[in-house]
Amino acid sequence: MPPSRATKAPPRQVPAAGSARERLIAAAIATVRYKGFSATSVDEICQAAGVTKGAFFHHFASKEALAVEAAGAWTEIAEQRIFTQPDWTRIPDPLERLLGHIDFRLSMLDGPAEDFTCFVGTMVQESYNSSDPIRAACDASLHAYALRLAEDIQQAIDIYGIASGVSAVSLAFHIQAVLQGAFILAKANGNPVIARDSVMHLKRYVVMLFTQN
């Protein structure tokens, strides 16, 4: 169980480091990655955020509404942590950047699964039929990641060419699929080694596509 904030929130109306709303979103992301969306109660999210349900329902119309907002936040987190902050994002050569991206994802595959697996992948797995707003928000996040990645892939294709019949978007979604599937295997096995191995296959495949055309 993720450690929860047992102490009271800071005094009201004084903006804390991260407001209640932001802390609720962060708590939701952490708890859903740990145990899934349905098993995560509103009360539990509130405890982790250090507020009560009154605050929760002041900011969010429903548990579902929080989930949708959290999916949007997850897109922002990915944009910052994967596509902006790492040094490899500034490699000039797009193919090197793509391989750097995959190496980066590889290096993330360490420690407990809830620390490296995907919030929206986890949530849509169980909620896709129960809530169309949640499904659509997760899909939008996955799409945003893939389209962002496809930019680098297209640049690499423009310079190096790629195996016949492969598009940038197609390969970007395939990379997404491999990562999400690797996460499931790591969760089942309790060991990220199995996920790293699959991402090594992914890297090998990408290299093959760009060097044998």
Q: Which residues bind DNA (CB under 7 A)?
A: 8-9, 11-14, 16, 19-21, 40-44, 50-55, 57-59, 62-64
Q: Burial-class residue 183 by CB neighbours within 10 Å (0-12, 13-18, 19+).
A: buried
Cα–Cα separations (whole angstroms), residue 30 to 1, 15, 33, 50: 10, 22, 5, 14
Cβ distance to DNA smaller for residue 58 or 81: 58
Q: How far is the CB of 173 from a second copy (least distance, A)?
A: 6
Near a second copy by CB under 8 A: residue from 25, 30, 34, 105: 34
Residue 74 beta carbon to a second copy: minimum distance, rounded to whole angstroms:
13
Question: Which residues contact residue 2 at a Cβ distance below 8 angstroms, ignoring those fewer than 6 apart?
Answer: 30, 31, 34, 48, 114
Smallest CA-to-CA distance from 28 within 8, 44, 52, 9 is with 44
Tokens of 1: 């169980």
Hey, what are 119's tokens?
């919030």
* 4 lines the binding site for a second copy (CB under 8 A): no
Task: Considering only residues 71 through 100, tell me which ones interact with a second copy, judged by CB under 8 A.
Answer: none
Nearer to DNA among residue 16 and residue 200 (C-beta): 16
Cα(21)–Cα(3) distance, rounded to whole angstroms? Answer: 19
Question: Do residues 60 and 24 lie in contact, with contact meaning Cβ atoms separated by under 8 Å?
Answer: yes
Regarding 103 and contact with a second copy (CB under 8 A), the answer is no
Residue 92 binding target from a second copy, DNA, none, CB below 5 to 8 Å by type: none
The correct pick among 52, 125, 154, 155 for binding a second copy (CB under 8 A) is 125
User: Does residue 138 bind a second copy (CB under 8 A)?
Assistant: yes
Select 40 or 198, whichever has its Cβ closest to DNA: 40
From DNA, a second copy, none, interface partner of 14 (C-beta below 5 to 8 A by class): DNA
Among residues 64 and 197, whose Cβ is nearest to DNA? 64
User: What distance in Å separates the CA atoms of residue 84 and residue 201, rounded to the nearest whole number?
Assistant: 25
107 binds, among a second copy, DNA, none (CB under 5 to 8 A by kind): none
Distance between CA 202 and CA 206 in Å, rounded? Answer: 6
